[in-house]
Structures are given as C-alpha cells and as structure tokens.
Amino acid sequence: MKRRKFIQSGAVLAAAIPIGKLQAQVNEQLQSFSTHNKMYDVIVLGVGSMGSAACYYLAKRGYKVLGLEQFDIPHELGSHAGQSRIIRKAYFEHPDYVPLLERAYQNWKSLEEETGEKLYFKTGLLYFGKADHALIKGLRLSASQYSIRVDEMTAQQQIRQFPQFNIPSDYERLIEPDAGFVTPERSVLLYTQQALRSGAVIQTQEKTIEWRKTGSAILVKTTKGVYQCKKLIITAGPWAGKMVPDLARNLKVTRQVIAWVKPKTWTKFEWGNFPCWTIADPEKTGIFYGFPILPVGQFGGPIGLKLAHHFHGTASDPDTINRNLTKSDEDNLTYALNKFIPDGYESTHVMKTCMYTNTPDENFILDFIPGYEDVVVAAGFSGHGFKFASVVGEIMADLAMNGHTQQPIGFLNAKRFS
Ligand SMILES: Cc1cc2nc3c(=O)[nH]c(=O)nc-3n(C[C@H](O)[C@H](O)[C@H](O)COP(=O)(O)OP(=O)(O)OC[C@H]3O[C@@H](n4cnc5c(N)ncnc54)[C@H](O)[C@@H]3O)c2cc1C
C-alpha cells in the first residue's frame, strides 16, 4: 500500500465558533420566542439529535413547526452528549445503510456551507480485528458492494504510520480515509439555531406527557400546556418507548459509559496526530473505539483521550438510570487501552453515562407508527445513529409532510417486529 498522510492538520480544520458562544446565541434565540399560537402543522417531540434536524428541515420547507424538549438544548441526559461521534461509510452493520450515509455526508456538508461552521472532521478510521469478526467481514462487504475506499495495511505499514497501537499479529489492519467524527452538541445547536431562524418555535424544559388523536388533529399535552397539530414526529431517543408504548417491547434502553483519560504521552494522541479507531477483541463482546484528543475551547469538554465500548450495557429506565460510575466501568475501558494502546493510559480524567436505545436486530426504526398515518417515529438507533441525524431529519420531514421519502428506508420499517 502506498503510504499516505490521512490525518489533516488541526490548524487546517480549526475554523469554528467556540461551543460556549454558540450555546449562548441559541439560548438567547430560544428565549425570544413564545407559543401563543397553539395549532401547528407539525410537532416534533424531543429536540435532540434527530429532532433538532427534523425541526430544521420542516422550518426550512415553510411549515409551522413546534419542537418540544424536556431538558435544555443540548443536554447530557439522553444520547447525544460527549463531544464526538464516529462517522464512516463502510458500514459493517449492513450495506443497506450506505446510500443513507452518502446522503448524510451530503447533508452535513450542506449545513456546514449554510452556517460556515465545521461539523465533520476527517481523521481517517482504523479498523483492527480478526478476519472472521463481524466488524471486518461487514466493512469489507459494504466497501466492496459500494466501492468505498478502505485500505489494507501490513503490520509493518501500520507500525510505521500508527505506532501508538500494539495489535496482535493475527489481526487485520484497515483504514477508511474518509471516515472521522461529527460533533453532536454543536450539530444539535446549529440545527436548532437554523430552525429558529427559519421560524420554528422550540420550547425547552417542557416535557410531553401524552399525545392522542382527536378527529383530524393530534393533541399533545405537556407540563406547560396543550397543543394541536396535523402531524406528529416522535424523536424521543431513550424515551421513545414511553411515548409509543406499542414499540416499547422492541426498544431496550441500556446504560453506556464513555471515558476521557490522560495518556502517558499527550502529543501523539492529539487531533492531527492520531486518528479515530475501532478494535474488535475476540475476548470481549462488542467493539472498543476512540477519538483523538480535541481542543476543549472549540469542541467543549472534557479534555482527554476519549474512548468507549460499543456493546449492550445494563438495561435501564431513562428516568432512573444509574449515573454513578464504578471501578468496573473504568476497568472495562482501560482494559482496551492497556492491551492495544500502551501509551494511551496513565489516569482516568472523567467518565460519563449515556444511553443506547436498542432494537432486537440493532437496526433503526424510521416509519409511521402502526395504525397512524400522521404520526411518524425515528427511534431504536442502537448506539450507531448520530452520524445519520442529518438524513434522518430530512426523512422525518418527508414522511410526515409528504407521506413518503425517496431515501431507501424499507429495511427500517416498524412492522418487521410485529
Ligand atoms: C456512549 C455513546 C456513544 C455513541 N457513539 C456513536 C458514534 O460514534 N457514532 C454514531 O453515529 N452514533 C453514536 N452513538 C449513538 C447516537 O448518539 C444516538 O443514536 C443518537 O444520539 C440518538 O438520537 P436521538 O435523537 O434518538 O436521541 P437524543 O439525542 O437523546 O434525543 C432525544 C430527545 O428527546 C427528548 N425527549 C424525550 N422524551 C421527551 C418528552 N416526553 N418530552 C420532551 N422531550 C423529550 C430528550 O430529552 C432528548 O433530548 C453513541 C451513543 C452513545 C450513548
């Protein structure tokens, strides 16, 4: 393989408003809106990853939209906190996601162009695992089916280019150069800001208690009032099962942990010097993955080398989830660093909990709610949904307002579990 430099320098990419300033701008805009008019074309229940994008597409198309969020925008109590989310195209989970990813990449770019802000950061993504592991088999399948560039590396090439990793000799080593990360809090804020600028009304600290159909309208009751709409979009993340009880048995919420650690040597793990990575260890279920150290001023905290374990954590209720962090949470993550990235761990800086909402087949649900032709749901993102927020928002707007979408979402229908 020809040796290439996949990692762009931090200086080239560092063009973005500090996250604290963006947050202050959005808060000011949120306070200047009121909800005197209580009849809407469409209500978006939950303004997180998918809901903020849905509000954006609906407001852009000129619809009268109300977004209802139980907490602040953004917040740390759902699924979108934590500074960074991996984005990649050689989708090991299923090749059918690839066309949606093509559209997601385009839509992230459009939002960047519209706002002048960077959201997608190309770092390259390393994949390590045995040839027969689902990660390696699946990414090769998607890459070959859709001609996505994934480069194979020999052990020597990997050690020369990415000496931070100590990988067993019987593992495959691949890199997807066009992969990297997107920034969840910044994206949610920017979608919200652009939706507000296009006329959306968005209410924070307002929890939806129930919704029901009354004649041709839908009634939505919250902690602060009652609204009516023609169409309802439910993007409630881990709370989706509470808002759509018929889907609840197929939406298992799990407790997940992310850590930011101090490595033994700082510079070689910084953005610009270190890529995103995934490792499938046959001795553990799931996949370990991580990110370079990011500058806090631009991306928000915490500071440190971030990593996580993609597997099903403990089943939890989103309202009572255990947010206390334990030694075993820490050991589970530092295990991967000690084993595969020896200079990557000196001490743990911060750990945080987050939630997955898992379907039985770990594929999303993007569909009308069975039995309703004016209520749509985006749920069950099973720990891999954020990168799709830019296309899911568009799909939700299509389904709710046009009754159909051109995006190929047949495999994500809700009926497959009935
Ligand atoms: C640790 C971790 C790591 C991850 N890593 C990746 C990754 O690398 N790449 C990737 O693509 N994905 C990743 N994901 C998955 C991704 O973050 C999620 O799939 C995505 O954020 C889900 O979006 P959502 O809109 O469904 O949920 P959320 O973003 O949580 O939004 C749901 C919103 O609805 C609101 N809400 C719910 N009920 C109500 C109510 N009754 N009234 C008002 N508001 C309500 C909530 O408060 C919340 O703001 C990760 C997830 C976790 C937890």
> How do residues 168-190 score in pLDDT, each as one tens digit?
999 999 999 999 999 999 999 99
- C-alpha 276/C-alpha 124 separation (Å) is 6
Protein residue with its CA nearest to atom 51 in ligand 1: 383
Residue 381 buriedness (CB in 10 A; 0-12 / 13-18 / 19+): buried
- C-alpha 12/C-alpha 9 separation (Å) is 6
- The CA 51 to ligand 1 mean position distance, Å, reads 9
More confident residue, 376 or 32: 376
H/E run at residue 234? strand 226-234
SS3 30: helix
By the 8 A CB rule, do 288 and 309 touch?
yes
Residues having CB within 6 Å of any atom of ligand 1: 45-51, 68-71, 78-80, 82, 85-86, 207-208, 235-237, 239, 243, 256, 258, 308, 354-356, 381, 383-387
Terminal CA-CA length for the chain: 48
How much of the chain, in percent, has pLDDT values that exceed 90?
A: 89
Interval 302-321 mean pLDDT: 98
Whether residue 29 is predicted with pLDDT greater than 80 in this model: the reply is: no
pLDDT at 38: 84
- CA dihedral (31, 36, 41, 43) in degrees, to 10, reads 50
What confidence category does residue 13 fall into, taking pLDDT thresholds of 50, 70 and 90? very low
- The CA 262 to ligand 1 mean position distance, Å, reads 27
Structural tokens at position 198: 């296009």
Class at the top of the CATH hierarchy for domain 23-80+185-249+363-417? alpha beta
pLDDT at 277: 98
Interval 97-108: pLDDT, tens: 999 999 999 999
More confident residue, 368 or 21: 368
Interval 217-231 mean pLDDT: 97
Whether residue 407 is predicted with pLDDT greater than 50 in this model: the reply is: yes
pLDDT at 35: 53
pLDDT at 12: 39
Name every residue whose Cβ is closer than 8 Å to that of residue 337 and which is 6 or more positions away in sequence: 261, 305, 307, 344, 345
How much of the chain, in percent, has pLDDT values that exceed 70?
A: 95
pLDDT at 75: 97
Interval 332-384: pLDDT, tens: 999 999 999 999 999 999 999 999 999 999 999 999 999 999 999 999 999 99
Amino acid (1-letter code) at residue 130: K
Strand partners, 255: 314, 355
pLDDT at 405: 98
Whether residue 4 is predicted with pLDDT greater than 50 in this model: the reply is: no
Architecture of the domain whose range is 10-14+123-180+251-358: 2-Layer Sandwich (3.30)
Whether residue 44 is predicted with pLDDT greater than 80 in this model: the reply is: yes
Protein residue with its CA nearest to atom 48 in ligand 1: 48
Cα 348-354-359 angle, rounded to 5 deg: 135
Domain residue limits, the chain: 10-14+123-180+251-358, 23-80+185-249+363-417
CA 148 to chain centre: 21
By the 8 A CB rule, do 283 and 168 touch?
no
Q: Which atom of ligand 1 is nearest to the CA of 385?
A: 19
